[in-house]
Every structure is written in structure tokens, then in C-alpha cells.
Structure 1
């Protein structure tokens, strides 16, 4: 795969990369022990981990220490760090963060033509358990089938999940490709469906059909991206809740911290956590969403946070 085609050498943050919320509230919702932020990013610091010369956006630094503080504030025990296109195929920033994670972090990599099998095996030993395919034009040109097959060959035998970043009706467009991918597939951010099209829109029909296969998972993250109402994102929360109820054993959730390539100010991450009370109101489904499902998908140990039935009975 090639790097994004737009060259950006500016050091100032790009439009759409606001600072994180200055004072996220402490969530009122007590998450089950072992809860996982299944989608967040680590950026820089740029003086140590430079951003790729050929990138489509420049974020503010969000180093591993900052992410750790946010997780602790929100009551999250685990996290999955997704390699960003602004760092390209240079995974040093991801490897550094995983090494400091004490076994409670996993990673999702970007694999390109220059990524060797030795590098991929190093990433696997460090805790990477997936690779991401970006189909959004603001990040890169959509990968060809030949490029995807090359990635699949490079990661063969490792059990990595394929993370698919598509938007709106592209979910339906790429449904045959997603069905054809081997192993587990994860669709990011509710497929970024156009919520104004209602329950019969093609993207939502495709999401449900893909979930029916048993091999496709969905991140019910990004309610702030999908909503057309703004905080507290009731329209997108209702959509996420319907999909959690539809396939409770194949959904995961993430903050998407620190929220790049968005419109307006960054959301309050404490609010995003509290919205889980509406997305997964049943305690058993909340545990699936936050603990058991991400443990299955990203190879976290199940016995580190044993299931306590008393929590569900309160």
C-alpha cells in the first residue's frame, strides 16, 4: 500500500484536529472491571516519534502518558491502540506505547508494501492483533484488491482481525469484499452510517447482514461522529443500542480519543462513557461489550478480571 498522497509538512494541527475536551467529567456509570477502550490513538510526541512526511492531517500530540491518564479517569482497564495514518507505516510510536502497557494494551497496525514479515512478527509479539484498511478519502486512496491480498499474505497465520474503516453507503458497496475476507472482520465507528436515511438505508441493512455472518464485528464507537443532533447524541445512541441488541456477542466500544478529523470541538469522553448506559442498558450485555467481547477479539486474558455474577444482580 502507498502512503496518503497529500503532502503536509506543516507542524500546526490541521483543521478538524481540535484539542481534547479540557475537563471531561467523571463518569457516573461504573464500568465492569476489565473494561476496554477498543479504539483510541497515540500521537507523538512529534519530537520523538515524527509524523509521516506524506500525511493528510497533523494532530496535536497525544502521547501514551496522556492516554493512560484518560483511561484511569474514565475507569477503563484496557485499551486497543490503532495506528494512525499520520504516523504511516512507522510503528515505533505504537511499539513504545504497547511496551509500557503492562499487558493491558493491544494494537492495530497499518501494513504496507514495505512492511516485512519480520516487522509484522515483532508487532505481534508486542501485542498487535489486527490490521486496518482505510477506505476514507481523507486518509488515503482506497486499497485495491491486490494490495489487500498482499496484506493478507503478510499476516497469514497470526489470527489478526481486519479492521475496515468505511463510511455510509460504502458499507453496502464493500459488503462483498468484507464477506470475502478470511477470519474476523471489524467495522469501525458504526460504519459511519448516514443516520438521516433512517432504518432502511442500505448501509444499515448491510451492517446487519454482515453481523449475521458470525465473522463480522462492529465498533459502536463514534456516536459523536454519526449523530446529527449533537450532545448527548440521542439519535446515534439509539442506533448503537439497536445494533448491540442485534448482535450482543460481536460488538465492542471505544472512545476514539483524542478525536481527530472531526467537525467542531472534541466530545466529552466522560459523557461518552455515561452514554453506555443507554447503548447497553442490560448489565450482562454491558459486560459483553466492554470486557468479554474485546478480550475475545483482541486476545486479552479472560481470567484477569473474572466474571462476578453479583455485579449483574445489583
Structure 2
């Protein structure tokens, strides 16, 4: 991994003795703590991370904020909040390292796309972006008109959930390419093992990945999705996921963009010495 490499999609859960799970949650993970995350990233050679607030905690962001407080130089966060939050709470989250907010149709107890316009307006002057977590790729087609109208940058989690079976000729993928033209759209290549119909190294995903990388190498992000909650396939090995990066992006310049420069720009990290 290059110096300053960033894993843009991880979660922390618990410890439950300190940070309880939401009663509205749709899954119950084991404790996966800041210490666990730091140990994994040290082994993988990853210097920075974006903690995406886990849906099991609902809109109680304390577990994520506590982790951010422990390493403000190397960590940033994405919150799960409803629209209409008091301004002082948003400013406190921003001061502690939150840089975006996530909406999901996958998990319950968080924020739905009904909050999209409100969150875009309320967080725009903080420099935040929106993160969209789809249950089905067709939802991207439905929400695209709203994304074209807002001012905020936005990240499509897990490549907008477009599966290998849907592929480059599908309407969701064509919509994704149109959104890339806005310059406000970022594509997160994370947990694509969920979208593949083939075993590791999931070569059926390569046509879509390479198309996105070819068109906008300056708008791609990489994430592990550790600790892989709600995983419908055999639990992946995080080292294997790192080993996929050269297959997706064989040249060092594109890897530098995806792993270092792009997340530094979006999340406001200091330049690598």
C-alpha cells in the first residue's frame, strides 16, 4: 500500500456495554472495536480510514464519534442522521471529523432517501457529502433526478449495488455514468464480492470497474467494508481484498488516486509527507 492509503469504508460496532444497538436495527453484529480496526489496518499497511456509521446503532453516532476522537489525524467519519438536526449538533460532529451523512434502503433505523434534499441543504456549507446505500441498483435510476438537482457531492456505495449480472449495458450502470459527468459523483469500490456471480477474484465485475476507472480515475474510492456486516456470501479475507486492487487498477498512478489522493480530497486529510 502507498503511504497515506485510505480504506474509505469500515464500521465500528460497540462495545455494547458502552454503546447500545438500536431497537429498530435489522441486524445484530458482534463488537468490532477501534482496537480491532487499528490492528487490521496495521497488518494491511493502511494509514487512514473512513468510519461509516453502522446501521445497527441507528442514528446514535456515539460509537463512531468516540473512535474518531481517538485518532483525529488518521480517521474521518460518515454519520447516519435525520434531516432537521440542530445546527450545534452538526457543527460538533464536523469538528470531530464527520464529513458526510449516509442514507440507506438496506438497513432499518437510519435515514431514508426521503431525507436527501434536507440533508443536502443542511450540510452543504459544512462541506459534507451524501452517501447513498442502495438495496437494489434500480433505486439509483429513481433517485438520480434528485441527485442532479442538489449541490452536494455524493458517493454511491458499493458501486450503486449494480451486480455483474446487470452489467455495463444495464440502465442503472448507464445512469451511474451520466451522474459521473456532474463532477459531484464519487464511486466507492467496496464489498463487490456481494455483487459478483463468480468466486474470488470476481472477474465478472471487471468490465464495470474498468469502465468507471477509465472514465473517471479521479472519482473512485476503495473500501474493504470491514467487518462485513450482513454478508450473504462466505466471509471474505481482508488481505485478499487488498490483493484485488492491482487487478482492478494495474497502474501505480490510478492506485495512488484511488487509495490516497481521492480520499484526501473528499475527506480533507493533510498531504502525505
Same fold, judged at TM 0.5 (above): yes
**Structure with the greater alpha carbon radius of gyration:** 1
Whole-angstrom distance in 2 between the partners of 1:181 and 1:114: 17
User: Structure 2 vs 1, CA of residues 132 and 190 (structure 1 numbering), >3 Å: closer, same or farther?
Assistant: same
Q: Spell out, residue by residue over 1:44-87, the C-alpha distance to the aligned partner (whole angstroms, 9 max, x if none).
A: 01111111122111111101100111111111100000011211
Whether the 8 Å CA contact 1:131–1:162 is kept in 2: the answer is yes
Give the superposition deviation at 1:241. 2.7
- For 1:23, the equivalent position in structure 2 comes to none
Q: 2:199 aligns with which of 219, 230, 245?
A: 230
Give the superposition deviation at 1:137. 6.0
Give the superposition deviation at 1:114. 6.7
Whole-angstrom distance in 1 between the partners of 2:118 and 2:154: 17
Give the superposition deviation at 1:113. 4.9
Q: Which has the higher contact order (CA 8 A, sep 6+)?
A: 1
Whole-angstrom distance in 1 between the partners of 2:17 and 2:138: 39
- For 2:85, the equivalent position in structure 1 comes to 115
Count of aligned residue pairs for this structure pair = 272
The normalised TM-score by structure 2 is 0.94
- For 1:186, the equivalent position in structure 2 comes to 155
Give the superposition deviation at 1:232. 1.7
Whether the 8 Å CA contact 1:238–1:279 is kept in 2: the answer is no
Over the residues paired in the alignment, what is the CA RMSD in angstroms? 1.7
Farther-moved stretch of structure 1 (222-231 vs 268-277): 222-231
Whole-angstrom distance in 1 between the partners of 2:126 and 2:241: 33
- For 1:214, the equivalent position in structure 2 comes to 183
The normalised TM-score by structure 1 is 0.82
Matched, 1:198 2:167: yes
Matched, 1:261 2:230: yes
Whole-angstrom distance in 2 between the partners of 1:138 and 1:91: 15
- For 1:274, the equivalent position in structure 2 comes to 243
Q: 1:291 aligns with which of 260, 264, 267?
A: 260
User: Structure 2 vs 1, CA of residues 218 and 113 (structure 1 numbering), >3 Å: closer, same or farther?
Assistant: closer
Give the superposition deviation at 1:226. 1.1
Farther-moved stretch of structure 1 (268-277 vs 179-188): 179-188
- For 1:106, the equivalent position in structure 2 comes to 76
Q: Spell out, residue by residue over 1:154-213, the C-alpha distance to the aligned partner (whole angstroms, 9 max, x if none).
A: 324100011111231222222111212212111100111032123210111011111111
User: Structure 2 vs 1, CA of residues 111 and 138 (structure 1 numbering), >3 Å: closer, same or farther?
Assistant: closer
User: Structure 2 vs 1, CA of residues 68 and 123 (structure 1 numbering), >3 Å: closer, same or farther?
Assistant: same
Whole-angstrom distance in 1 between the partners of 2:142 and 2:122: 25
Q: How does 1:1-314 map to 2 (within 5 A)?
A: 31-113=1-83, 115-136=85-106, 142-144=112-114, 147-166=115-134, 167-302=136-271, 305-306=272-273
Unaligned regions of 5+ residues in structure 2, if any?
Answer: none
Counting helix residues as a fraction of each chain, which structure ranks higher? 2
Whole-angstrom distance in 1 between the partners of 2:4 and 2:12: 20
SS in 2 for 1:131: strand
Farther-moved stretch of structure 1 (216-225 vs 128-137): 128-137
Unaligned regions of 5+ residues in structure 1, if any?
Answer: 1-30, 307-314
